[in-house]
Amino acid sequence: MVSRGPESAEVEAHTTEAPTSSSSSTVHDTEASTAQTLASSSSSTTSHLEDSTDTDWDTFNQTLPPWELKDMQCAFRDALMLERLGHGRRIRPKGPVLSIPSAAFIFSQVAYAPARDQDTSGLAMAFLKRYAGPLPEQRWQRWVRLHENIAHVQFHVRYMSTERAPAAWPLEQTQTSGFSLGRSEFTSSESKGPPLIEKRASVVMNTSLGGDDALRYRVLTLADSGALLAEALHDEELWRESTLSIGTVAKGITIFQLFLYQIIKEVSASWTAVLTHSRWDTYDLPREWIEDVRTDMSSLITDCSTTLNGVMGDDDTLVKTNWDVLTNYLNTVAEMIRAHFGAY
């Protein structure tokens, strides 16, 4: 986290022009104090979004805070689309730093008000830390939480790209407040070709479990990819393409699975572009990243099955079938990558 100190409340707007100079990021805050800062900021700047009543779900899409558009490109859909039962937003940073107010807004949407407590705040911090900055060395396994009838689910991927997205631009000396996104780049050993770049995507959903009368959900995706930002959030054609089925009691969980389908699709397209690059074999690429995604997906499925055991009713088999579809799709992508690299 790049910071001028906890007393600094003003955050400079970041432009969409590519920076020309760079600086290393520094960390001044502990995770606990950072969470406290974000919780305080989210409370003061987005209190109209954070009622402790049911209106918390309904007001999610009513106001975009003016500061939100300074360093984030948003795609927002109120849906079929989401059948007036839920809301979805995708966010793509416009530069290599996620400002404190933007991070606070994201934190407020992840740490959902009906169960705002230390555990929920910890999950919100974990969500931010796995998108912004170096990935923690310890592998994350806490994908799902159930509080009363509200399920929290999140997932994260990183993958290779030929595109230098704004999240991977160098830091400017003036960018001194916020979360440095810290994307890696890989250069060729034999040529002066452009570097290949790390991209990330993180998705989180808070959803009630029940029939249509009780269902409420909201889903948020942080993505480096402009292509992913432009994808439809939820429509009939996408359901047909994915071959996933939408649930009733666990409708929110199945919509989360649809979002995962789109992320795997993006990972596949991006890795394909990398591996058809004319000189891809001269780059020391992190071939283990796709295996990390497979491991994490397996962990997510196990956590979901254990945590939500007995609460999805007749949708239990449907959700399991959807997981099988996603697993097979991801395995196909992984095998494509392995075929290029050779067995490893």
Q: Mind listing the pLDDT tens digit for each residue in 116-164? A: 567 778 888 889 989 988 887 777 778 999 888 889 999 999 999 988 8
Q: Which residues pair with 161 in a beta bridge?
A: 197
- Locate the domains of the chain by residue range: 31-169+180-341
pLDDT of the residue at 113: 53
Q: Place 33 in a pLDDT band, splitting at 50, 70 and 90.
A: low
Residue pLDDT, tens place only, 241-297: 999 999 988 988 999 999 999 999 999 999 999 888 767 777 888 889 999 999 999
More confident site: 75 or 159: 159
Reported residue count of the chain is 344
Rounded Cα–Cα distance for residues 64 and 45 (Å): 11
Dihedral of the CA atoms 103, 104, 108, 110 (nearest 10)? 20
Q: Place 300 in a pLDDT band, splitting at 50, 70 and 90.
A: very high
More confident site: 335 or 37: 335
Which of 69-73, 123-127, 224-228 is predicted least confidently? 69-73
Residue pLDDT, tens place only, 138-150: 777 789 998 888 8
SS3 readout for 170-181: CCCCCCCCEEEC
Rounded Cα–Cα distance for residues 15 and 174 (Å): 12
Asked if residue 45 has pLDDT above 80, the reply is no
pTM, two decimals, is: 0.79
In a 13 Å sphere around the CA of 6, the CA atoms on its Cβ side amount to 13
Vertex 150 angle, CA 264 and 99, to 5°: 60
Is there a contact between 3 and 99 (Cβ–Cβ < 8 Å)? no
Residue pLDDT, tens place only, 166-200: 888 877 655 557 788 889 988 888 766 778 899 99
Which segment, 14-18, 51-55, 97-101, is predicted with the most confidence on average?
97-101
Which segment, 42-56, 121-135, 203-217, is predicted with the most confidence on average?
121-135
pLDDT of the residue at 316: 94
Residue 255 zone, left/alpha/beta (φ > 0; ψ -120 to 50; rest): alpha
DSSP H/E element including 228: helix 226-230
Is there a contact between 100 and 178 (Cβ–Cβ < 8 Å)? yes
Q: Place 327 in a pLDDT band, splitting at 50, 70 and 90.
A: very high
DSSP label at residue 201: E
pLDDT of the residue at 29: 40
CA 262 to chain centre: 12
DSSP string of 74-124, one letter each residue: EEEEE-TTTTTTEEEEEEEESSSEE-HHHHHHHHHHHS-GGG-SHHHHHHH
Rounded Cα–Cα distance for residues 100 and 35 (Å): 11
pLDDT of the residue at 253: 93
